Structure 1
Amino acid sequence: MKASKFGRLTAGVLSLMLLGTACAGQRSGTDGSDNGSETKASDTMFGTLASPCGAGDAKGATAQGVTDGEIVIGYGDDRGFAQAPGLNKEMGDAVKAMIDWCNEQGGINGRKLKGNQYDAAYMQSVSVMQKACKQDFMLVGQGFAMDEAAEQYRVACGLPTVAGFTVGPNATMGPNKFEAVPYPVDYYNAANLMLAQEKFPEMKKGLDAINSTSPAVTTGTKKIESVLKGMNIDFKKCGVQLNVKGDASFVPFAEKFKKCDVTSLWTSKTPDAAAMGMLEALDRVGVKVPFLGESTWYSDYVAKWNTSGQGDNIHLGMIFQPFENAEKVPAVKKYLEIAKDANSKTGMMGMQSTSSFLLWATAAKACGSDLTRECVTTELSKVHEWTGGGLHAATDPGANMPAKCALMIKLTGSKFEQVAPAELGEFSCPDNAVVEIDEALWGTKLNKDRIATTFLKS
């Protein structure tokens, strides 16, 4: 059900900073009529989005992976990683299911889709990218934890992507890279923190972070610390730092937080055994304060762990609609229906890949017969409002900018539910939610177009 990661995280392996009612922005030529192709409008909907799939008479071998009758795309995840089998499996499952869903409607302007599914198995992203460079039109909806290692090969072969998520800073800010849900290195959507501040005003006088010696967690915590300073909130700095290699006991850390008189806690950690042990220790010493985290914590693992209520203070900021809102949000219901029909694993990363597939397909449809990489990336660059039909808060894929909204869910027992805003399915969109991030935390250099320069030819 909810085995998920957040934006640029891979569950239990990398923890970094990361997760709608408007439709996708209007773009010219979306019916294909300006591109020499007759298309048949589809009456199939994905939430608020009219399906980009359907019949047509698109013709021409216009690019690598494109023929009169076929479009070849690459997709995949890290499902074969031995230390975490099934990692991100919902991403590949989602794209495969969407390919079938689209082909049942006639493909894209009549061209059927063929998918090359890849398993980067965490450490094999380079070999995957080298294969994709030789045979795919584009990469769509994929999520590879080690995408940074493969990025130089993607840039060198000119392979565009509409990724499910990206992790490395160069991959996140690379040329011809789009995402339905961008998490750029230079801007951050602070709507989740603003919503938490509104709900828990005690944050201002007693918030601290559960940090770790993990470089990824440290980087994520520093980014959040930078954002909080702009909100006039400082971490108390109680001195707690978990060891990435493990700790004998978490009670001393919990006692330190108690002595420090924290009123709320934040973590950029993913919900692993250490994080669960920390929560159990906090409960044991009587520290019962709001625990704030990102949507990596929205998972069956966490829900099933919370049998004794030690996680009842968990509150998570999200830009995706939770599955519990499916009856209120048609797009979430549609995603779950398609996944069920395909016998696919579901999860928030699956929804993220689904949104990226729909974004790519919408741009591809607009190109009609003239389906080239240049045309698709041009169409993608025009999209400045995107919700995946209502799967998530509006983002700006064309400008690689994040959402400006968030909602909050709470765990009670084994059940998650939206607690803010009060109206289910609605988001909070505070003014000035998108804030700039200190350049020292970017992890790469950007040019004037906000493109990473590391692998660009001079």
Structure 2
Amino acid sequence: MKVNKFGSLSAGILSLALFATGCAGERSGTDGSSEGNADNSTSDNAFGTLASPCGAGDAKGATAQGVTDSEIVIGYGDDRGFTKAPGLNKEMGDAVAAMIAWCNEQGGINGRKIKGNQYDAAYMQSVSVMQKACKQDFMLVGQGFALDDAAEQYRVGCDLPTVAGFTVGANASMGPNKFEAVPYPVDHYNAANLKMSLEKFPEMKDGLDTISSTSAAVEAGTQKIVDVLDGLGVDVKNCGVKLNAAGDASYVPFAEKFKKCGVKALWTSKSPDPASFSMLEALDRVGLDVPLVFESTWYSDYVKQWNTKGLGDNIHLNTVFQPFENADKVPAVKKYQELVAAKDGKPALLGMQATSAFLLWATAAQKCGSDLTRECVTTELSKVHEWDGGGLHAPTDPGANMPAKCSMMLKLTGSEFEQVLPAEAGKFQCADDNVVKIDKKLWGTKLNADRISTTFLKS
């Protein structure tokens, strides 16, 4: 999933975003839809459709840094200590902590218990966190640091592999020995969300504009989407509206500009915040009633609580994750909620993303048995080309660092989200041609023939 500068999901998980052909237990119909997984496992410890990778065993040997006869040390964490946004991405660390406890209750990985070093990068401290992790951890698992690109040279320099919860920077997204359960590479994009939006709102074809911002992260995301939309035959109106990242005195002039420009639909990669809400309130004041096509970062209690007057009832968002409203149909979602709640954590999409990352790592580590080395785990990870976290999200291709080919659309009404496309709850809409290439000038880094960022590679 991708995140903006404050670590929110970008669809594509932030925007996130972030899946390949159907996984085991998932089937694709001739209608181009992919069903959410039913729990067909008989094990009490199964995670949705995924057999638990955890359990007792007789693994032995101090095979790598952080590995002993009885223990595997992994690093994880978030930016929860960021003073300007307390608790930033806290749900990621909470999720991994819950998964470590769940796994250890079953006996660990082949009998080795997992010890987690929890880090708080506090937004500005990713470098010091990475320097610590380099000295003590076997791997990083399920973490999400907003300024991960600042720390990437240290991760690459100490050969520390990672199964990240999310990555933000271009170098971190395409780094060596980096895997994600929900990839969001810089060179490819899952356009299923945009295609679905065009299907739902054909007026987007000649009447769409973007709500952009002076924020570098939002602007970069907007440019990428405009590039993809151009390939889909959409001529974005470009009415000249760009919000100030630091806030604006009034948003009514922006709303009036959109109205005068003849906008028929609006899209943004901006996350929900007071400025975003003020923009929507201004649209209502000037009487501009158009579809709002937003990214999955808007799937949050924050948005639900704000929408008491129904000003956000035009919000439609696309996601590659199963929403919590589908928990009764998707056992993996229910399992995640139960495990996090048992540790007093708060369920969130980023938490599910970190959970899927942990399960991906654990599944690869389990296959290595006693010979638990970084090389073995990364080799096993590179073989995984169909992954859905037991049903938490649409299928992805972690081994090739490629995004999903699916999406679903949710609509906000009052304080509730509801799936509207595909019509059957729990299903995703998928197609092989949904993944499109991104113009090189928008990558933000140089890639080698293996699609690995060359910025910090050792010569």
TM-score (norm 2): 0.93
SS of structure 2 residue aligned to 1:456: coil
2 CA distance for matches of 1:74 and 1:13?
A: 21
After TM superposition, list the pairs within 5 Å mapping 1:59-70 onto structure 2. Answer: 59-70=60-71
Which residue pairs with 1:251 in the alignment?
A: 252
The one-character-per-residue Cα deviations of 1:135-156 (angstroms, maximum 9, x if unpaired) are: 0000000000111110000001
Which residue pairs with 1:99 in the alignment?
A: 100
Q: Bigger shift: 210-219 or 67-76?
A: 210-219
Q: What is the Cα deviation at residue 346 of structure 1?
A: 1.7
Which residue pairs with 1:140 in the alignment?
A: 141
CA contact (8 A) 2:9 2:350 kept: no
2 CA distance for matches of 1:102 and 1:253?
A: 51
Which residue pairs with 1:35 in the alignment?
A: none
1:9 aligned residue (4, 13, 25): 4
Q: Bigger shift: 350-359 or 8-17?
A: 8-17
CA contact (8 A) 1:14 1:216 kept: no
After TM superposition, list the pairs within 5 Å mapping 1:213-362 onto structure 2. Answer: 213-362=214-363
Are 2:13 and 1:18 equivalent residues in the alignment?
no
Residue identity in the other structure for 2:223: K
The one-character-per-residue Cα deviations of 1:395-434 (angstroms, maximum 9, x if unpaired) are: 0000000000000001000111111100000000134100
Q: What is the Cα deviation at residue 7 of structure 1?
A: 3.0
Q: What is the Cα deviation at residue 23 of structure 1?
A: 3.1
SS of structure 1 residue aligned to 2:433: coil
1 CA distance for matches of 2:249 and 2:356?
A: 42
CA contact (8 A) 1:7 1:166 kept: yes
After TM superposition, list the pairs within 5 Å mapping 1:46-61 onto structure 2. Answer: 46-61=47-62
Aligned length: 438
Which residue pairs with 2:35 in the alignment?
A: none
Which residue pairs with 1:36 in the alignment?
A: none
The one-character-per-residue Cα deviations of 1:166-208 (angstroms, maximum 9, x if unpaired) are: 0110000000000000000000000000000111111101001
The one-character-per-residue Cα deviations of 1:67-91 (angstroms, maximum 9, x if unpaired) are: 1111000000000000000000000
CA contact (8 A) 1:24 1:385 kept: no
Q: What is the Cα deviation at residue 213 of structure 1?
A: 1.2
- Cα root mean square deviation, aligned: 1.6
SS of structure 2 residue aligned to 1:123: coil
Inter-CA distance 10–102: structure 2 relative to 1 (3 Å threshold)? farther
Residue identity in the other structure for 1:181: V
CA contact (8 A) 1:42 1:52 kept: no
2 CA distance for matches of 1:83 and 1:307?
A: 26
Residue identity in the other structure for 2:299: Y
Residue identity in the other structure for 1:221: T
The one-character-per-residue Cα deviations of 1:72-122 (angstroms, maximum 9, x if unpaired) are: 000000000000000000000000000000000010001000000000000
SS of structure 2 residue aligned to 1:428: strand
1 CA distance for matches of 2:15 and 2:349?
A: 16
Q: Bigger shift: 253-262 or 435-444?
A: 253-262
1 CA distance for matches of 2:148 and 2:244?
A: 26
1 CA distance for matches of 2:95 and 2:133?
A: 19
SS of structure 1 residue aligned to 2:364: helix
What percentage of residue pairs aligned between the two structures are identical? 75
Inter-CA distance 132–42: structure 2 relative to 1 (3 Å threshold)? farther
Which residue pairs with 2:112 in the alignment?
A: 111
1 CA distance for matches of 2:330 and 2:9?
A: 30
2 CA distance for matches of 1:372 and 1:456?
A: 21
After TM superposition, list the pairs within 5 Å mapping 1:166-177 onto structure 2. Answer: 166-177=167-178
Q: What is the Cα deviation at residue 13 of structure 1?
A: 7.3
Which residue pairs with 1:367 in the alignment?
A: 368
1 CA distance for matches of 2:110 and 2:8?
A: 40
Q: What is the Cα deviation at residue 319 of structure 1?
A: 0.2
Moved over 2 A (4+): 6-25
Inter-CA distance 53–152: structure 2 relative to 1 (3 Å threshold)? same
Q: What is the Cα deviation at residue 248 of structure 1?
A: 1.1
Which residue pairs with 2:37 in the alignment?
A: none
CA contact (8 A) 1:210 1:265 kept: yes
Are 2:73 and 1:78 equivalent residues in the alignment?
no
2 CA distance for matches of 1:355 and 1:13?
A: 17
TM-score (norm 1): 0.93
CA contact (8 A) 1:11 1:296 kept: no
1 CA distance for matches of 2:129 and 2:215?
A: 27
CA contact (8 A) 1:93 1:344 kept: yes
Q: What is the Cα deviation at residue 44 of structure 1?
A: 1.7
CA contact (8 A) 2:127 2:151 kept: yes
2 CA distance for matches of 1:408 and 1:10?
A: 24
Inter-CA distance 12–281: structure 2 relative to 1 (3 Å threshold)? farther
Inter-CA distance 76–12: structure 2 relative to 1 (3 Å threshold)? closer
SS of structure 2 residue aligned to 1:49: coil
